[in-house]
């Protein structure tokens, strides 16, 4: 066996040896006697994974993992934003519910007709902060303000549909107030019921029903 290896080494030229050394493990190397003696005497080459995991290395890694883990995972969006967004959806539903109650109060004072605009009920009813959805990641935050004439509340998050309607003639399922779906979708119906998380098809259907109702109210086009 050794004789064969020696013959094999003799047949290899120095250039071929260089090539095999550069290729590394691409070509199988047959260990020679000289190699085996070198491996026995020399220490392993220094490298990151060649050394066994020492105790100090493990302590350093563990300390970094514990301290860094808390600092990375605790403020991450996956752990915090979802519950916070759920809380914001609940606050938004509460806002809508308050607006619904204010509409009901104004309706009672106005011969069963819903207020024609929000400005009509802000005087006695909800503060304008209620007209903002507190949802996260909104690309543009609204700022409910009055227009230059001071009569019309603009720039709010909710869309008020059935203005000045006789409430008793409306179906309780008619869409009264809604917001464009972002992270959540709340809708206030004429029965002052806040519905959360409707699916997109039924949401569109509700809006279209409301539009068709208004079209019927307006009458035949001339």
- Interface with another protein in residues 49-88 (CB under 8 A): 54, 56-65, 68-69, 72-73, 76-79, 81-82, 85
Question: Counting contacts by CB under 8 A, is residue 110 touching another protein?
Answer: yes
Cβ 95 to another protein, closest distance in Å? 14
Q: Which residue, 143, 140, 207, 199, is CA-closest to 178?
A: 207
Question: Counting contacts by CB under 8 A, is residue 159 touching another protein?
Answer: yes
The structure tokens listed for 60 are 């350093």
Question: Counting contacts by CB under 8 A, is residue 190 touching another protein?
Answer: no
- Residues 86-113 as b or e (16 or more Cβ within 10 Å = b): eebbeebbebbbebbebbeebbeebeeb
Would you say 175 and 163 are in contact if contact means Cβ atoms under 8 Å apart? no
Question: Counting contacts by CB under 8 A, is residue 161 touching another protein?
Answer: yes
Q: Which residue has the tokens 């039924």?
A: 202
What's the angle, vertex CA 67, arms to CA 61 and CA 68, rounded to 5? 80
Cβ-based nearer residue to another protein, 6 or 70: 70
The single residue among 104, 105, 146, 193 that binds another protein, judged by CB under 8 A, is 146
User: What is the C-alpha separation between 140 and 120, in angstroms, rounded?
Assistant: 26
User: What is the C-alpha separation between 116 and 9, in angstroms, rounded?
Assistant: 100
Cβ 119 to another protein, closest distance in Å? 5
The single residue among 27, 36, 37, 145 that binds another protein, judged by CB under 8 A, is 145
The structure tokens listed for 75 are 């403020």
Cβ 120 to another protein, closest distance in Å? 5
The single residue among 117, 172, 173, 191 that binds another protein, judged by CB under 8 A, is 117
Cβ 124 to another protein, closest distance in Å? 9
The single residue among 2, 10, 123, 168 that binds another protein, judged by CB under 8 A, is 123
Question: Counting contacts by CB under 8 A, is residue 173 touching another protein?
Answer: no
Stretch that binds another protein, among 2-10, 15-23, 92-100, 105-113 (CB under 8 A): 105-113
Q: What is the dihedral of CA 193, 179, 109, 174, to 10 degrees?
A: -50
């Amino acid at each position: 066996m050794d004789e064969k290896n020696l013959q094999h080494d003799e047949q290899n030229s120095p250039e071929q040896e260089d090539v095999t050394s550069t290729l590394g493990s691409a070509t199988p190397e047959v260990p020679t006697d000289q190699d085996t003696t070198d491996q026995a005497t020399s220490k392993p080459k220094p490298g990151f994974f060649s050394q066994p995991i020492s105790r100090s290395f493990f302590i350093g890694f563990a300390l970094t993992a514990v301290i860094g883990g808390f600092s990375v995972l605790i403020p991450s969006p996956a752990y915090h934003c979802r519950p916070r967004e759920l809380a914001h959806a609940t606050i938004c539903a509460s806002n809508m519910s308050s607006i619904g109650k204010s509409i009901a109060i104004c309706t009672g004072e106005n011969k069963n007709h819903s207020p024609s605009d929000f400005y009509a009920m802000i005087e006695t009813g909800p503060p304008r902060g209620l007209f903002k959805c507190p949802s996260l990641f909104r690309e543009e935050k609204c700022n409910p303000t009055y227009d230059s004439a001071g009569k019309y509340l603009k720039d709010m998050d909710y869309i008020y549909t059935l203005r000045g309607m006789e409430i008793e003639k409306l179906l309780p399922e008619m869409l009264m107030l809604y917001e464009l779906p972002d992270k959540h979708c709340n809708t206030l119906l004429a029965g002052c019921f806040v519905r959360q998380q409707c699916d997109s098809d039924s949401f569109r259907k509700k809006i279209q029903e409301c539009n068709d109702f208004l079209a019927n109210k307006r009458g035949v086009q001339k």
